[in-house]
């Protein structure tokens, strides 16, 4: 028995060594492309900015069960006749029992948050979640498409708080701030040891900010007045291919002002003689459904179905609100990071307009969410229905297959520039070739 045990142990150890060796070997084989894809998936998972709300469906108002906790008393409000149902009474009894009798001190706010999160865990829906006050504020700011600030994007680095982007015509640009400046002081207080979020709060504390930056070996001070900033979510340009003018519009998100930004850019490109159009929604995780509808309606008249929704077995078709149907060719660039409203746009242009969809299969987010703000400033986001393509197909968890599948090349991962973007180059080739 002892010999057998020793042999089993030796065999197990050899197996472990082999697995470790294989893992080490595999590590050496990881390419830059794999690292890029892994980071992209993590970013997609954590970012989850496909918060999908819409003005075309009725916003469900969910009155929070908990509106306050005073002197150990659990306060509720009546939203309907079933507020005092058995289930709610059990919930309240459990809460009061734990908070009053548990042997350790209980954080009541955290306990309630845990209870709400438990409800969403039960649903098993990754798109139905609870967001605390900070997450709600960040979400609202992103989805509104505007915020009050200086118009600079900052990032926490090992060397300090670094400015990594400056919005055009923003207070930051007007004042003279530049990318790669390091913010070292805000209103006389050092930013050393502060996070990017903490630095933003320091800047936004008043209507004016005195910001000291380090630029190379110099320190420079800037007096800046905060303004309401439109967050740019649309970029457009025209490039020439085989003697034809091709417009390229890139969408980063579907915020509340994205539809207006898109229309302005499209009008400009058409005025400049655009003959074909490429819409790039690669990495765009979505946003407001009504913004996707507005953008799609630029290309089709009211006879075209642009998507359907299904709720409790009932399907409803939604049509374009446009007045004319464009005649030029359109291609949509997609990848695994294209989700939600991006997929609505791609599916509508593919099935109702006849556009080419080029790239790799999309994320597969085929459900619709709405949000409800809770009294304390937090909010909940929950699924209310699923959407279908114009032809009635569900893409949930499967994604939209491109009409032309093109994997992004290793050259682009090594050196990300337009010439190495083989997905874009294939789109240009397809859209400019003769019928």
The enclosing domain of 285 has a CATH number of: 3.90.226.10
263 within a domain of the structure (yes/no): yes
Per residue in 64-109, pLDDT (tens digit) is 333 333 222 232 333 444 556 888 889 999 999 999 999 999 999 9
**Within-domain flag for 158:** yes
pTM of this structure: 0.71
pLDDT of residue 16: 45
Res 113: pLDDT = 92
User: Both 199 and 155 in a single domain?
Assistant: yes
Same domain, 185 and 303: no
Phi and psi for 227 in degrees, rounded to 5? -135, 165
User: Do residue 261 and residue 354 come from a single domain?
Assistant: yes
pLDDT at 32: 47
177, 184 contact by CB (below 8 A): no
Considering the domain architecture, whether residues 174 and 308 belong to the same structural domain is answered as: no
Q: Is residue 274 part of a domain?
A: yes
Specify the pLDDT at position 37. Answer: 53
Task: Give which of 310, 286, 416 is closest to 362, Cα–Cα.
Answer: 286
- Active-site residues, by number, are 340, 365, 369
Show which of 182, 204, 230 is a domain's final residue: 230
Quick one: 188 and 264 in the same domain? no
pLDDT for residue 172: 95
The CATH number assigned to the domain holding 155 equals: 2.30.42.10
Where the chain has pLDDT below 70, the residues are 1-84, 435
The count of C-alpha atoms lying within 13 angstroms of the C-alpha of 384, restricted to the half-sphere facing its C-beta, is 19
- Give the model's pLDDT for residue 147: 83
Unique residue bearing structure tokens 């697995």: 19
Task: Please indicate, yes or no, if residue 405 is contained in any of the structural domains.
Answer: yes
Domain final residue, candidates 195, 230, 265: 230
Dig out the tokens for 311 from the structure. Answer: 């709720």
* Structural domain for 181, as ranges: 146-230
pLDDT value, residue 8: 52
Residues 160-211: tens digit of each pLDDT: 999 988 988 899 999 999 999 999 999 999 999 999 889 998 999 999 999 9
Evaluated on CA atoms 261, 267, 269, 275, the torsion sign reads positive
Kindly state whether residue 172 falls inside one of the protein's structural domains: yes
Does residue 239 share a domain with residue 212? Answer: no
Give the pLDDT score at 33: 52
Q: Could you give the number of structural domains in the chain?
A: 2
Q: Is 289 exposed, middle or buried (0-12, 13-18, 19+ CB in 10 A)?
A: buried
Backbone angles phi, psi at 10, to 5 degrees: -60, -45
Residue 394 lies inside a defined structural domain of this protein = yes
Query: Could you tell me which of 109, 38, 132, 100 has the C-alpha nearest to residue 373?
Result: 132
The pLDDT of residue 134 is 84
| Boundary-marking domain end, from 230, 250, 285 | 230
> Does the residue 6 lie in any domain?
no
Amino acid 318: pLDDT: 97
287 occurs within a structural domain:
yes
Distances (CA, A) of 362 to 358, 381, 412: 10, 22, 19
Tell me what pLDDT residue 55 has.
30
């Amino acid at each position: 028995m002892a010999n057998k045990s020793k042999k089993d142990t030796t065999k197990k150890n050899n197996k472990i060594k082999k697995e470790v060796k294989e893992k080490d070997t595999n590590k050496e084989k990881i390419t830059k492309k794999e690292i890029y894809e892994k980071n992209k998936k993590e970013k997609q998972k954590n970012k989850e900015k496909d918060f999908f709300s819409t003005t075309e469906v009725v916003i469900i108002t969910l009155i929070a069960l908990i509106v306050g906790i005073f002197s150990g008393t659990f306060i509720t409000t009546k939203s309907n006749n079933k507020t005092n149902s058995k289930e709610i009474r059990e919930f309240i009894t459990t809460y009061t029992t734990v908070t009053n009798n548990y042997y350790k001190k209980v954080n009541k706010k955290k306990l309630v948050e845990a209870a709400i999160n438990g409800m969403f865990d039960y649903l098993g829906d990754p798109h139905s979640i609870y967001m605390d006050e900070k997450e709600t504020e960040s979400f609202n700011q992103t989805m509104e498409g505007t915020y009050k600030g200086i118009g600079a994007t900052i990032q926490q680095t090992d060397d300090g708080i670094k400015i990594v982007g400056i919005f055009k015509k923003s207070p930051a640009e007007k004042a003279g701030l530049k990318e790669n400046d390091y913010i070292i002081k805000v209103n006389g207080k050092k930013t050393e040891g502060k996070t990017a979020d903490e630095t933003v709060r320091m800047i936004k504390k008043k209507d004016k900010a005195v910001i000291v930056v380090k630029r190379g070996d110099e320190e420079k001070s800037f007096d800046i007045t905060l303004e309401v900033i439109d967050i740019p979510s649309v970029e457009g340009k025209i490039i020439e291919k085989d003697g034809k003018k091709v417009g390229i519009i890139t969408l980063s998100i579907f915020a509340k002002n994205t539809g207006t930004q898109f229309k302005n850019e499209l009008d400009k490109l058409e005025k400049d003689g655009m003959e074909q159009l490429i819409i790039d929604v690669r990495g765009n995780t979505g946003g407001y459904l009504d913004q996707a509808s507005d953008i799609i309606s630029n290309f089709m008249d009211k006879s075209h179905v642009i998507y359907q929704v299904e709720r409790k077995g009932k399907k409803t078709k939604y049509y374009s609100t446009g007045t004319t149907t464009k005649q030029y060719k359109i291609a949509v660039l997609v990848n695994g990071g294209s989700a939600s409203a991006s997929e609505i746009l791609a599916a509508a242009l593919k099935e109702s307009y006849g556009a080419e969809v080029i790239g790799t299969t999309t994320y597969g987010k085929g459900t619709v969410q709405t949000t409800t703000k809770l009294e304390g400033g937090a909010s909940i986001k929950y699924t209310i229905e699923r959407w279908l393509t114009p032809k009635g197909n569900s893409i949930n968890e499967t994604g939209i297959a491109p009409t032309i599948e093109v994997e992004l090349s290793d050259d682009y991962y090594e050196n990300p520039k337009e010439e190495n973007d083989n997905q874009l180059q294939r789109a240009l080739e397809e859209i400019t070739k003769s019928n």
